[in-house]
Amino acid sequence: MKNYAWILILAISTTAAPLLAGAQNNSPADKKPTLLPGLDKQLVDTSADPCTNFFQYACGNFPKLYPIPADQSSHGSFNMVFNYTEYTLHSLLDKVAADNPSRTPNEQKIGDYYASCMDTSAIYAAGLKPLQPELDRIAALTDKQQLTDLLAHFQLIGVDAFMGLSEQQDFKDARKQIAAIDQGGLGLPERDYYLRTGANDEKIRHEYVQHVTNMLKLMGEPDDKAPSDARKIMDLETALAKISMDVTSRRDPKNIYHLLPVSQLTGLTPEIDWTAFLEQAGTPKITDLNVVNPDFFKGLNTILASTDLDTIKTYLRCQLIDGIATFALPKALDEEQFDFYGRKLSGQPEQRARWKRCVQATDGALGEALGEVYVKENFPPTSKAATVQMVNDIESAMDKDIDSLTWMSPETKVKAKEKLRMIANKIGYPDHWRDYSALKVVRGDAYGNGIRATEFESRRQLAKIGKPVDRGEWGMTPPTVDAYYSPNMNDINFPAGILQSPFFDPKSTDAENYGHGGAIVGHELTHGFDDEGRQFDGNGNLADWWTPEDGKRFDEKADCEVKEYGSFTAVDDVKVNGKLTLGENTADNGGLRLAYMAFLADAQHKNIDLNAKDANGYTPVQQFFVAFGQDWCGETRPEQLRLQVQTDPHSPREFRVNGVVQNMKEFGEAFGCQPGQPMMPVNACRVW
């Protein structure tokens, strides 16, 4: 079961392919990963003109100094913090993995979970035996009417065959938690992978069919039968893709909210007994739910009715392998999964070391248990206090920014400020830690641990349906190197993992901290007022609080960014999707402006001389912009870049820098750019 809670996340592409290698590497590299300073002059390419290509200027030397590791599809400033944090977590887990009776219950759970994941000898020796009960469930199907119970069970163990069941806050009443049922069941990243024309997409589809063929053979299917069955699965998934909503359309919350009676869902898909499905999945008794894409479920009924049971059973076997905890797979299946999803789709040459994958698996299963130990050792109260102060400063800057907008009416400004004052700030870690006492972790049972952890989380999520919303809950674990804004919660969330150098460092200058971390804070804050977030009010309800005239002017301002970013070529002939990336581009642009305003106010308060140059020859304002640019230093493999542009609402790193600074005349003035140069165009875009 996936959690479809609708949040807007600052994506950083730090996670490598979530697929495990057969080869085991039990210890990390001898040298602990390093963190970048607040401003690293070594990264600066002095041969580049900052007014022509600021990304190249601020980051041009990064690929030479820090080339992409073989086990990653991209590498950059965020990856370095991710790798550093991962190493820290490994050291922590190595200690608690020792079978010591003095361990706390949570230390026992995270230590045994990690140790079991690392035990490749036991995992590989077991082969497919741990999966056999699930394979037997599929084999036992003799009638499509039996699908209901099996699909409900699959939802609990993380296998989203045909659909995904979840809970979410009600878009129209954010105090309520409701059930949601969404489209699902695709093996390729997104629906358009099945439908786009062109040589590259044809190649990926061909490779995917071969991958499915290989998977079926490894699960015991005869060599002469697997290719035709793989083709049938491709045809089935293509039919699912045709009735699925595309990623750009899903960005509009109005498109993904349809509160319907369960009886109406039954009318859409009578092939499934929805009352029994919900009961078997363990949801509280409900009368209605959000059917995210009604057209999908109407089309799903036709697909289920017209597809033979043997094809459905073969499809379910592949979905099972795709859905279960990958660290528990037999070696050959594991390597086949990586070959397609890691090497072919993302261009990643090598699988990640086993210890790295097991660190991430433990964080995914027991994130707050691991996080509680992590923050005690790595996130002092002083860091939290300093971050809180920066957030407050940037929120004050947004208050002033709203006042300065010439396109917004006084009436809408009042409501915008009301929403701003209601935003909750979550810094570092939750106030109350999650209780994992009901989760059973058995040392040596990697597969069972993965299944039990997934079912524990699925049941925890579904049990929230019908209960008051817990506004203190977090959607990320404390060690996560990321941040997000939730429009339903109307809160911004900054885990401890991201509050490290260079994004925040007490030893850095104020200019550097505001350029790095301040821009990230401003980014998340602006999400509350981008093309999606602006549709929710301060209470988190989907409500139109804009005057019609202001809404129209906002759309006109936003359209400037759509066209601007849509003109950027990401890789080969693939351009950035200006509509898909609009929210993130708005947040990048608005976020840096807010951080800049807050920095100027801070400098004035502290009597900082904005004309004084540091040892590198930069004024504080130039420091601010170089620090911001170095947030996004790095490079991405072409395969991963293509994947990102086609599925991710975030622009590639180069355009997260150049696309922003070219819209700020303050940048051009700081570096002496002339109007008409690439980084100081005559006509710039600005929403916030």
Check residue 492 and give its pLDDT: 97
Q: Which residue has tokens 């660290």?
A: 327
SS (H, E, C) 217-251: HHCCCCCCCHHHHHHHHHHHHHHHHHCCCCCCHHH
Choice among 524, 530, 550, 631 that is catalytic? 524
Angle in degrees, 0-180, between the axes of helices 653-661 and 548-566, rounded to the nearest 10: 120
Question: What is the Cα–Cα distance from 556 to 563, expressed in whole angstroms?
Answer: 11
> Is 524 a residue of the active site?
yes
- For residue 84, give every residue at least 6 positions away whose Cβ sits within 8 Å of its Cβ, in sequence order, or none: 32, 33, 34, 35, 500
Tens digits of residue pLDDT in 443-493: 999 999 999 999 999 999 999 999 999 999 999 999 999 999 999 999 999
Q: What is the mean pLDDT of residues 77-106?
A: 96
Question: What is the Cα–Cα distance from 412 to 398, expressed in whole angstroms?
Answer: 14
- What residues does 487 pair with on adjacent strands? none
Task: Assess whether pLDDT exceeds 60 at residue 442.
Answer: yes
Average pLDDT over the chain, rounded to whole? 94
- For residue 310, give every residue at least 6 positions away whose Cβ sits within 8 Å of its Cβ, in sequence order, or none: none
Neighbours of 313 (CB within 10 A): 17
Check residue 149 and give its pLDDT: 97
Check residue 24 and give its pLDDT: 37
| 3-state DSSP assignment of residue 578 | coil
Residue 612 in tokens: 């004084």
> 596-614 in b/e burial notation, b at 16+ Cβ within 10 A?
bbbbbbbbeeeeeeeeeee
Classify domain 379-432+472-670 at the CATH superfamily level. Answer: Collagenase (Catalytic Domain) (3.40.390.10)
- What residues does 180 pair with on adjacent strands? 166, 290
Tens digits of residue pLDDT in 494-505: 999 999 999 999
* Closest by CA position to 216, among listed 204, 208, 227: 227
pLDDT band at 609 (very low <50, low <70, confident <90, very high): very high
Question: What is the Cα–Cα distance from 107 to 166, expressed in whole angstroms?
Answer: 29
Residue range(s) in the chain whose domain bears CATH number 3.40.390.10: 379-432+472-670
User: Phi and psi dihedrals of 494, rounded to 5?
Assistant: -130, 95
Residue range(s) in the chain whose domain bears CATH number 1.10.1380.10: 142-329
Residue 42 carries which DSSP code? G
SS (H, E, C) 509-536: CHHHHHHHHHHHHHHHHHHCCCCCHHHE
Task: Assess whether pLDDT exceeds 90 at residue 326.
Answer: no
Task: Assess whether pLDDT exceeds 80 at residue 407.
Answer: yes
% of residues, the chain, pLDDT over 90: 94
Task: Assess whether pLDDT exceeds 60 at residue 27.
Answer: no
Residue 277 in tokens: 């499905």
Check residue 26 and give its pLDDT: 44
Check residue 160 and give its pLDDT: 96
Choice among 588, 602, 639, 654 that is catalytic? 588
Check residue 15 and give its pLDDT: 31
Question: What is the Cα–Cα distance from 54 to 243, expressed in whole angstroms?
Answer: 42
Give the angle subtended at the CA of 562 by the CAs of 688 and 475, to the nearest 5°.
Answer: 65
Check residue 4 and give its pLDDT: 33
Tens digits of residue pLDDT in 32-89: 899 999 999 999 999 999 999 999 999 999 999 999 999 999 999 999 999 999 999 9
Position with higher pLDDT, 22 vs 85: 85
Task: Assess whether pLDDT exceeds 60 at residue 359.
Answer: yes
Check residue 30 and give its pLDDT: 56
Least confident segment among 2-11, 90-99, 321-330, 433-442: 2-11
Q: What is the mean pLDDT of residues 120-142?
A: 97
The CATH code of the domain at 142-329 is: 1.10.1380.10
Pair 603, 510: CB distance under 8 Å = yes
Tens digits of residue pLDDT in 617-669: 999 999 999 999 999 999 999 999 999 999 999 999 999 999 999 999 999 99
Pair 511, 502: CB distance under 8 Å = no
